[in-house]
Structure 1
Amino acid sequence: MKKHTGRAKLMLVFLMITVLFVTACGSGNTNAGTNNTGNTAGESDAPNEGADVNSGEKVKLKFTFWGSPQEKKAVEDAIKAFEAKNQNVTIESIHIPGTDFLQKLNAMIAGNEAPDLSYSAAWKLKMGEEGLIYNFFDLIKEDPSIKKEDYLQYAWWNWDTDKSAGPYQASVVPSLMYNADLFKEADVELPPTKAEEAWNWDEFVETAKKLTLDRSGKHPDDPGFDPKNIKQYGVKFSLSWSSYMPLVMSNGGDYLTEDGKEFGLAKPESTEALQRIADLINVHHVSPSPVQASSIPAPATALQSRKVAMVIDGSWNHLDLSKANINWGVGVLPVLKDYKSFFLGGSLIIFKSSKHPKEAWEFSKFLTDPQNVLELHQGLWMPQLKEWYEDPKLIDSWANEELPGRPAGFQDAVMRSTYEHAEPSPENNVKNFVEIDAAVTAGLDQVWLGTKTAEAAMKEVEAKVKALVQGTYLK
């Protein structure tokens, strides 16, 4: 294989990641393809011994991240706490809105101004394959304070069996959220909070019908109901993989087949689940189409404005809901056969071009310790370490249902239901996920609009992604 220079390698990955960004919608010194001992990407990723973090040598790290105003403030507070403990280290934090993040990070790489460490998404795996970021498994070999077994089982971003961009920095999960006042007005029982009591699909649909109203106050099964003039929908799915995959898994399907050799979403178990979601829109008229959903605000505002009674989307919305003037709650997801869910999340990556990898590693450990960013774990994030789901004192510190972002039932409906029924998230498990998902998303757009069945659409996608199906990383 032809060996790239550091500069050439950076430009190659810049182009590759830009292509991924287009189809699916991160220091730039010239030894970026090597670590600081001069080793090539195939050798150990562990940083060489440099200055002690608490020595007198002044170190400045550049750190790029995204997030809401609340997340930005909490991260900046954590940075101040780290700098207070490590007075020789200064963190230059660069907050970039999520929609612009990859584009700006690519520009920094191309301009030889890459950060020392950064938030990241699925595109980090290409960087790992090209040797631009440190292998987390090499880093922990040199640090006995970090153990792989301490983390959630599937919370890993691997680009090979023994090469990882790290575990989740923090976790989020698919979540069912609702406006409790709308349930009360409709005289409908609130969603169950225990996985063993989850609604089956028919119960879920019937509940959604009772919560759906046209402008004359009629429900979908009432004579004269007008599906073209709905003022309140029973449920709104985000229609992304993070929301539909729990139902696919519940029905015995998956993104790929169990052996990783075939496109799983084209199999009957998967297409049946996808079709049931589409039927919420086009048959039962209890959920908005993509066109209708474009005029409905984000989940917190949608529930507050009474445009929808339930939302199935990410748990990151809990923070916004806690700050809205709304009587809200959470329930377990509906099931078809067995309850299934997953954790998802990004990871912090450290660039091999960093002049201070040892300090970057220490900051990475600090920022991924839930105790140091506890405020974010009390409404926005969930921990990535198993003990935070098993130790009652730790659970109480972040999942206490008296906290604003943790409504009654949170521990059962969100925390335990996921921890006890977790499967790998396709995003960090399926090889070539970004490329495959671009085709899947385009195919499903037709399903949600009712112009194709899920079976027909996924068969077409199967033919397009056949060469990309190359197995999984975690299972």
Structure 2
Amino acid sequence: MQAKSGKLKTLFVFLTILALFVTACGTGGSGSPANQGQQGGENNKADGGKNGEKVTLKFTFWGSPEEKKAVESAIKAFEQKHPNITINPIHIPGTDFLQKLNAMVAGNEAPDISYSAAWKLKMGEEGLIYNFFDLMKDDPSIKKEDYLEYAWWNWDKDKSAGPYQASVVPSLMYNADMFKEAGVELPPTKAEEAWTWDEFVDAAKKLTLDRNGKHPDDPGFDPKNIKQYGVKLSLGWSSYMPMVLSNGGDYLTADGKEFGLSKPEATEALQRIADLINVHHVSPSPVQASSIPAPATALQSKKVAMVIDGSWNHLDLSKTNINWGVGVLPVIKDYKTFFLGGSLIIFKSSQHPKEAWEFSKFLTDPQNVLDLHQGLWMPQLNKWYEDPQLIDEWANEELPGRPAGFQDAVMRSTYEHAEPSPENNVKNFVEIDAAVSAALDQVWLGEKTAEAAMKEVETKVKPLVQGTYLK
């Protein structure tokens, strides 16, 4: 127990240095839920105890006010179904999560179950969390093939921190009124009709205006005084990787032995994105973007006409009064994208792993948190993309968070063209991405070419390139 606790504290010191956005962790323990049941007594029975004794699970999570309300509603439904299991929900804002989590760990008050981020793979390697595949062995109610192909957070081929709790995807969102005012056709919604990169740039130019109402190609256009940008990208890996994949590149090479972002297919795509900022002047630089609000507000205020960011923004957009929509991402060569998502993890320090397993299954069933899947999340189970009745429950385009074109532009385009996300596929991704992000800041600012920056990074990250988990 002490040895595990020491390892965990060391891990969190490391995470603090990296300044990661994390969820929760636990200490100590090993073995299967059955073994933990013998250690923790009869209370480990899934019915809450042999004699109806109460079991309380500590659950840490983050999320917006809307997500918090939906999760709390799901907890109430779970407790009604399992009257002897009580969930103690601890909602921690993302900005405070790591600090409060470290305090919990130091006080030996780690949660039983938690939201998690990319660092969970190292926790798995440390033996701090349960292997999801082991938990599945004794539970015929779920099977690996039920889930999206690349939805797994594995730290080895047969060891997993679980599938996505729910999915999100890179998404192109726009203010339809701004398109109408500029006389620009709305973005296509079908992958086979996606804008080419040149068509995308052309549309962005027509949607970009300086203080005098001039477009980037107009004589006298002032790139230092832009009042309306055609597009804003988040400039993180979830926004640039679809373009890298579209151009035939990847984060690592196909054999997983080399840094893929330094290869010509990748650097060309990265340079095209940088050129949106520094050559075409249709997108803000990181410095300029710092004064532009979050996606929903940016579109509402007409500071930008299009945003490429995560689909989780659909919920916030549904709460505005603007005429918004979604389109497929532009392509360079082929349409490629991916699902993203965290997973629920159960800590080996938990005295009630069986009950935590039941809660994990409940919370990852889209039916139990359907309101979140109607604007914020997307399902992680294949049948919700294949069964028309289930599709209608979460992707009906009459729902506030599902605008016209959503099923083609977001649901089908991703389900039919998904590749592994680098976040849950590339080994040592967190460490590699820290170096990549710092180098790309220079590219976005026009201080270095993508080719030069990625060649420099290649030297730094070479020892960290150790293959992939999923492909």
Q: Which residue of 1 aligns with 2:90?
A: 94
2:189–2:409 contact (8 Å) kept in structure 1 = yes
Residue of structure 1 aligned with 2:292, choices 289, 296, 307: 296
CA distance in 2, matches of 1:178, 1:14: 39
CA distance in 1, matches of 2:383, 2:98: 33
Residue of structure 2 aligned with 1:6, choices 4, 10, 33: 4
SS of the residue corresponding to residue 431 of structure 2 reads helix
CA distance in 2, matches of 1:318, 1:53: 38
Q: Which residue of 2 aligns with 1:44?
A: none
Q: How does 1:141-290 map to 2 (within 5 A)?
A: 141-290=137-286
Q: Which residue of 2 aligns with 1:426?
A: 422
Cα displacement (A) at 1:106: 2.7
Residue of structure 2 aligned with 1:348, choices 323, 328, 344: 344
Runs of 4 or more, structure 1, over 4 Å off, are 33-39
Change (3 A) 1:402 1:164: same
2:439–2:453 contact (8 Å) kept in structure 1 = yes
1:261–1:471 contact (8 Å) kept in structure 2 = yes
CA distance in 1, matches of 2:367, 2:439: 42
Q: Which residue of 1 aligns with 2:411?
A: 415
Post-superposition CA distance 1:266-323 (Å, at most 9, x none): 0000000000000000000000000000000000000000000000000000000000
CA distance in 2, matches of 1:424, 1:191: 25
Q: Which residue of 2 aligns with 1:42?
A: none
RMSD of aligned alpha carbons: 1.8
- Report the residue type matching 2:5 in the other structure: R
- Report the residue type matching 1:198 in the other structure: A
Q: Which residue of 1 aligns with 2:63?
A: 67
CA distance in 2, matches of 1:381, 1:110: 33
Cα displacement (A) at 1:99: 2.4
CA distance in 2, matches of 1:66, 1:99: 10
Residue of structure 2 aligned with 1:465, choices 457, 461, 465: 461
Q: Which residue of 1 aligns with 2:29?
A: 32
SS of the residue corresponding to residue 254 of structure 2 reads coil
Q: Which residue of 1 aligns with 2:124?
A: 128
- Report the residue type matching 1:50 in the other structure: N
Post-superposition CA distance 1:250-281 (Å, at most 9, x none): 00000000000000000000000000000000
Cα displacement (A) at 1:22: 5.8
Post-superposition CA distance 1:417-451 (Å, at most 9, x none): 00000000000000000000000000000000000
Change (3 A) 1:34 1:5: farther
CA distance in 2, matches of 1:281, 1:315: 23
CA distance in 2, matches of 1:11, 1:35: 23
Cα displacement (A) at 1:15: 2.5
Cα displacement (A) at 1:165: 0.3
Identity level (%): 83
Q: Structure 2: 5+ residue runs without aligned partners?
A: none
> Structure 1-normalised TM-score?
0.95
Cα displacement (A) at 1:101: 1.9
- Report the residue type matching 2:29 in the other structure: A
Cα displacement (A) at 1:36: 6.1
Task: Determine whether 1:16 maps to 2:14.
Answer: yes
Q: Which residue of 1 aligns with 2:102?
A: 106
Name the stretch that deviates more: 95-104 or 349-358: 95-104
SS of the residue corresponding to residue 417 of structure 2 reads coil
Post-superposition CA distance 1:15-42 (Å, at most 9, x none): 2333333699x3756x435556668xxx
Task: Determine whether 1:51 maps to 2:49.
Answer: no
Q: Which residue of 2 aligns with 1:328?
A: 324
Task: Determine whether 1:374 maps to 2:375.
Answer: no
Cα displacement (A) at 1:13: 2.4
Task: Determine whether 1:396 maps to 2:392.
Answer: yes
Cα displacement (A) at 1:153: 0.1
Cα displacement (A) at 1:195: 0.1
CA distance in 2, matches of 1:14, 1:35: 24
CA distance in 2, matches of 1:247, 1:27: 34
2:428–2:464 contact (8 Å) kept in structure 1 = yes
Post-superposition CA distance 1:205-259 (Å, at most 9, x none): 0000000000110000000000011000000010000000000000000000000
- Report the residue type matching 1:351 in the other structure: F
Post-superposition CA distance 1:380-405 (Å, at most 9, x none): 00000000000000000000000000
CA distance in 2, matches of 1:87, 1:404: 34
Change (3 A) 1:63 1:332: same
Change (3 A) 1:122 1:251: same
CA distance in 2, matches of 1:463, 1:456: 11
SS of the residue corresponding to residue 288 of structure 1 reads coil
Change (3 A) 1:173 1:328: same
> Structure 2-normalised TM-score?
0.96
SS of the residue corresponding to residue 166 of structure 1 reads strand
CA distance in 1, matches of 2:311, 2:70: 18
Post-superposition CA distance 1:57-87 (Å, at most 9, x none): 2100000000000000000000000001111
Aligned residue pairs: how many?
464
